[in-house]
Amino acid sequence: MWQVSARCLCRASSRAWQKRLPWPGPCGPAAPRSRSPAWSSGTAPAQGLSSMAPSIRLSPATRSLFDEPLAIAVQGLGPRQQVTLRTSLRDETGELFQASARYQAGDDGELDLARCPALPGGSFSGLEPMGLLWALQPQKPFWRLVKRDVQSPFLLQLEVFEGHGQRPGRLLAQAQHERAFLRDGVRRVPVREGRIRATLFLPPGSGPFPGIIDLYGTGGGLPEYRACLLANHGFAVLALAFYSYEDLPKGMKEFHLEYFEEAVNYMLQHTQVKGPGIGLLGHSKGGDLCVSMASFLKGITATALINGSVANVGAVLHYKDITIPPLGVNLKRIKVSKSGIADIIDALNNPLEGPDQQSFIPLEKAECCFLFIVGQDDHNWKSEFFAVEGSKRLQAHGKEKPEIVCYPGAGHYIEPPFFPMCAASMHLLFGKPVMWGGEPKAHCEAQIDAWQQIQAFFHKHLTGKPSGTSSKL
Ligand SMILES: CCCCCCCCCCCC(=O)SCCNC(=O)CCNC(=O)[C@H](O)C(C)(C)COP(=O)(O)OP(=O)(O)OC[C@H]1O[C@@H](n2cnc3c(N)ncnc32)[C@H](O)[C@@H]1OP(=O)(O)O
């Protein structure tokens, strides 16, 4: 990870949060060690096996929040026994996601994923305590892990099989664990005020809380999971639909900023939202909508973009008598691989040249601070170029330099921590599967760090206090 702002930010590293997990120490010969009281057995041996049979131990035992680490260990194995661990999770449409990894227990018959590296031949190798979650892959091609109902958890199934064969050996132990989205006490409030179609998440207590509007990208609908997870950390977050949802326009033809202005005013007037301004968070197409909101609307204090664009893309934008055309596209520059997956990285025109300059959003009008989260292997578009050009333009107009945090090996779909990377899926505008970029391990580490950076940025600018969550890294 590198960053362009003057402020020094921490490096993306899975090692740091691994230190928070229980059971420190080397894999291999047994060493006396104390166990965390938070650590408890959540599982039973496979049916028909004796009480001395292997069992899975999880911490937290039965339920954790999706963006929190989960410590996994197996006890009761033979000395240096070879086993294969498998995780399975079905999304709400019934699609199955699975990951598996090969391990060898220590001399004491214990296998602690925080201390024992996975051996080659599985979904990942090396010391990866959360590998069995971030390496989950769909059986259905081009399918992403999406959470639709944040009020119910994902059910994670863990299984331990004998041996390292291509086909699973005898089942030795199994366990289930809930990966939840809504923290106890967080309120989920559907919002249908005026034209707004949204869901507000409010942390427990009377508030007021720093407020954020969260926008997803092309695809429409009302994805709530990022907003919900963010609200768990003390923010009042409005997940805002902007097309293809209930009575909103079906397609992405044009947007009117007045709709988004209604949402900003809703938040500013809400008794549980702390003023005087709010934050904006947007991914992909949601990112350039946030840049437009910050540039033209009042009451925005901080804007964080995840692989966003500083040019208006995909649809005309209107606000009062202003019209910003979308950045031009040349479909001839799309490369399609033999497997039929398109690489659209070069499809968009350059917003610094010719008539396409009209699509560059005048972000120098914004009165807020900016954070650009950039996946340097983004294949949807040139996120790093957009961030650097946005920074140049802000500074050329005497505005504060934005924070730019770049992650090598991270692709376009930077989600909250532990969502498996989606390498390619259907592009709902282009109508073909496209590659999003990213290398799974680097992408997963970027997600963990980016999540902290986003929270720290909003804490700093919306509350004036440094984030209390940064110690996670
Ligand atoms: C070329 C140059 C251009 C260049 C021009 C560039 C223009 C701008 C490009 C911006 C790029 C981006 O924004 S990148 C994308 C960032 N995307 C997001 O943030 C997506 C956010 N939204 C969503 O993910 C969606 O709303 C969902 C998955 C939550 C679905 O919502 P829904 O409203 O319930 O819709 P639903 O009917 O179930 O599904 C709608 C469609 O999504 C598919 N779909 C549904 N679930 C999934 C899933 N888990 N994984 C994969 N696909 C799914 C369905 O098959 C269906 O496709 P079909 O049957 O209709 O075919």
> What letter would DSSP give residue 231?
H
The tens digit of pLDDT for each residue in 31-75 reads 333 333 344 454 555 544 434 699 999 999 999 999 999 999 999
Identify the three-state secondary structure at position 361.
coil
CA of 363 to the centre of ligand 1 (A): 27
Q: DSSP letters along 169-218, please? A: --EEEEEEEEEESS-TT-EEEEE-STT--EEEEE-SSS--EEEEEEE--T
For ligand 1, mutation pick of 218, 305, 415 (most atoms within 8 Å of CB): 218
Confidence of residue 27 (pLDDT cuts 50, 70, 90): low
Q: Which residues line ligand 1 (CB under 6 A)?
A: 143-144, 146, 216-221, 223, 244, 283-285, 313-314, 329, 344, 347-348, 380, 425-430
Cα-Cα end-to-end distance for the chain: 14
Ligand 1 mutation target, pool 139, 197, 285, most atoms within 8 A of CB = 285
| pLDDT for 218 beyond 80 | yes
CA angle 54, 100, 22 (to 5 degrees): 55
pLDDT at 143: 96
Q: Radius of gyration over alpha carbons of the chain, in Å? A: 23
CA 435 to ligand 1 centroid distance, Å: 14
Residue ID of nearest Cα to ligand 1 atom 22: 219
Residue 429 is predicted with a pLDDT of 78
pTM across the whole model: 0.91
The catalytic residue positions are 284, 378, 412
Q: In this structure, what are the phi and psi dihedrals at residue 260, rounded to the nearest 5 degrees?
A: -70, -30
Q: Say how many C-beta atoms besides its own lie within 10 A of residue 393's C-beta.
A: 17
Between 78 and 468, whose confidence is greater? 78
Mean pLDDT, residues 437-459 taken together: 98
**168-192 pLDDT per residue, tens:** 899 999 999 999 999 999 999 999 9
Tell me the range of 5-9, 296-300, 466-470 where mean pLDDT is highest: 296-300
Task: Work out the average pLDDT over 338-353.
Answer: 96
Here the ipTM equals: 0.95
Q: What is the pLDDT of residues 301-318, one digit of tens each?
A: 999 999 999 999 999 999
Q: Does the CA dihedral 420-426-429-430 come out positive or negative?
A: positive
- Contact by Cβ (8 Å): 444, 411: no
Closest residue CA from atom 39 of ligand 1: 219
Distance 242 CA to ligand 1 centre (A): 13
Ligand 1, atom 44, lies closest to the CA of: 143
> Edge-to-edge strand order for the sheet containing 254-256?
254-256, 316-319, 322-324
Q: In this model, does residue 9 exceed pLDDT 50? A: no
What digits encode the pLDDT tens for the residues 132-149?
999 999 999 999 999 999
Of 25-29, 216-220, 251-255, 438-442, the one with minimum mean pLDDT is 25-29
35-44, 78-87, 290-299 — which is least confidently predicted?
Answer: 35-44
Q: Tell me what the mean pLDDT of segment 462-471 comes to.
A: 63
- Ligand 1 atom nearest the C-alpha of 431 is 61
* Ligand 1 atom closest to the CA of 329, numbered from 1: 4
258-290, pLDDT tens digit by residue? 999 999 999 999 999 998 999 999 999 999 999
Average model confidence (pLDDT) for the chain? Answer: 90
Please tell me the predicted confidence (pLDDT) of residue 45.
55
Q: How far is the CA of 237 from the centre of ligand 1 (A)?
A: 22
Rounded to the nearest whole angstrom, what is the distance from the C-alpha of residue 219 to the centroid of ligand 1?
A: 3
